[in-house]
Amino acid sequence: MKKQLATTAAPGAIGPYSQAIDLGSFVYVSGQIPVNPATGTMPEGIKAQTAQSLDNVCAILKEAGLTIDNVVKTTVFLADMSLFADMNEVYGSRFTAPYPARSAVAVKELPKQALVEIEVIAVR
């Protein structure tokens, strides 16, 4: 059964989508841009934005009773591949081995001119 997840500890959906969908065994978390849910602002720089995006992901996972250790796949969208090394430094500090599978791609533009957006799939 498909269950919608929502938490005020992460930015709310701004369109016809869910923060996450819980399928029981798997939780699919929508892409999270680095908006601080308390202030509605984005931090400066790729390192701070990566940290905020991952904080948002973790808040949604917590709503499902999961942690970042349950993540098996991530997709990282970058405004420019020149940001990869700094994003990867922060990303690597948040995950532990065995690391999730990952795709990282540069896109033309992200919502609100964010530098990064991160989506994940987690498993129970």
Report helix, strand or coil for 2: coil
Cβ atoms within 10 Å, residue 93: 12
Burial tier of 66 (Cβ tally within 10 Å: 0-12, 13-18, 19+)? buried
> According to the model, what pLDDT value does residue 48 have?
98
Kindly report the CATH number assigned to the domain that includes residue 112: 3.30.1330.40
Positive or negative torsion for Cα 96, 46, 118, 75: negative
Name the domain count of the chain. Answer: 1
| Single pTM value for the model | 0.96
Q: Provide the pLDDT for residue 60.
A: 98
Which domain, by its residues, includes 58? Answer: 3-123
Instruction: Give per-residue pLDDT as tens, 83-93.
Output: 999 999 999 99
d(CA 116, CA 19): 17
* Model confidence band, residue 46 (pLDDT cutoffs 50, 70, 90): very high
